[in-house]
Structure 1
């Protein structure tokens, strides 16, 4: 078990709660957990440790929203996501931590700007036509950012938001998306050495808090207004992007 101060443990505890909450109630908030883990642990260890907690939260999210997924949207995203993950593996092997974080921050801000413009002028992600380009773009960015920093939440939130999914469909589609992608990342993460024994020990302590956060997120999702939900997604996405830039 890594030796950490009480403040570091408190930060990780809050992050674990947010992991569960972000998967079942407020997508986009997970980037705050990424920030807290990166602030407390070495960059590579933080990525691997957080990945396993995300997978636990994914299981709860899938169990809660498994019937609400839009599989047509997921299948449309799949090829681009695989390309993005593989690109992320290569990038992670060579780029330093500071460059990775700032690159992702720029990407997120660009995604937010494009999404807001599309919503301002009434465009939505449709089932065919030019919006296949949007699926390819968001899918590639999502795969890349999730591999290098577990930071695809804001990217994919912007895509699902642009698709104008209702709250439950949004959460169900995101649940299956991240459950599949995060499991796909595990062999690469082991190969890169970012999943470690000390990280597993930390996960064992923090998992109960992930469960509490997931249950709290479900309670919120059953009561939240659609417009409030969308605004929270955007706010947390902006906060996460700014953090990664700074």
Structure 2
């Protein structure tokens, strides 16, 4: 990775990255879809491959804040069921990054963003009847044979998308909501899920040269924006008009994905 490019960003570009870092914190404690906007901004400002390495430590910082906020609501049986399939997806994603150059990665991130926007739209149509509340139980559909197959499928896709583009959020959101998780159960389970998965990705990313001293210094400058984003999300989670916000997130994701495909 040509990390020197990280030091040639303009003031406006740093402001865009700071806003994306704030959205990282917000997405971890309120609306996970905001994270797709963050990765689109990072991939647009920085080289596509480099952007995944710079974004990862910020995601981990947001994950820690989310775990501290919602740790009592995690459902561990669901997490243990997902992890083996996710590990397979992470390995496949790592092999893809070894092969792909920056142009292929940028195009892949754009395509993944558009796919995730479509998945989110489909998810919303399927879950509009789900009411907000706190339920950390595991539905019968998750414990059935079909449920286990669904967990494996979503796990592999989630592992691949999170390794290649840090875009596993919409995949896991779709899985948890389709499994019947309500707001607090969803937030607690996804918080632990992404903390563990993202920490596991660190040695893979470092081995690929996506994380080094220069990228970590940029992360240190941006991490301060993750905290207010997380606090804002915690405050807004019971107040936000989520339907309107998700519409804006989807629109921004589509614009970001198309922009990356056309670069």
Provide the rounded CA distance (Å) in 1 between the counterparts of 2:190 and 2:129: 25
Deviation by residue 1:156-202 (Cα, 9 ceiling, x = unmatched): 11112212322111111110000000000000000000012221111
Runs of at least 5 residues in structure 1 that lack an aligned partner in the other structure? none
**Residue correspondence of structure 1 range 1-246 to structure 2 within 5 A:** 2-95=7-100, 96-105=104-113, 107-108=115-116, 111-112=119-120, 115=123, 118-119=126-127, 125-221=141-237, 223-224=238-239, 228-229=241-242, 232-233=245-246, 236=249, 239-240=252-253, 243-245=256-258, 246=261
- Between 132-141 and 172-181, report the one with greater CA deviation: 132-141
- State the Cα distance separating 1:213 from its structure 2 match: 0.6
Q: Is the 8 A contact 1:125 1:162 kept in 2?
A: no
Provide the rounded CA distance (Å) in 2 between the counterparts of 1:150 and 1:167: 22
- Between 119-128 and 28-37, report the one with greater CA deviation: 119-128
Moved over 6 A (4+): 120-124
SS in 2 for 1:19: helix
Q: Is the 8 A contact 1:108 1:241 kept in 2?
A: no
- State the Cα distance separating 1:219 from its structure 2 match: 0.8
CA separation of 1:124/1:16 partners in 2, compared to 1, >3 Å: closer, same or farther? farther
Between the two proteins, the alignment pairs up a number of residues equal to 243
Runs of at least 5 residues in structure 2 that lack an aligned partner in the other structure? 1-5, 131-138
Normalised TM-score (structure 2): 0.83
SS in 2 for 1:130: helix
| Cα RMSD after superposing both structures | 2.6
CA separation of 1:109/1:56 partners in 2, compared to 1, >3 Å: closer, same or farther? closer
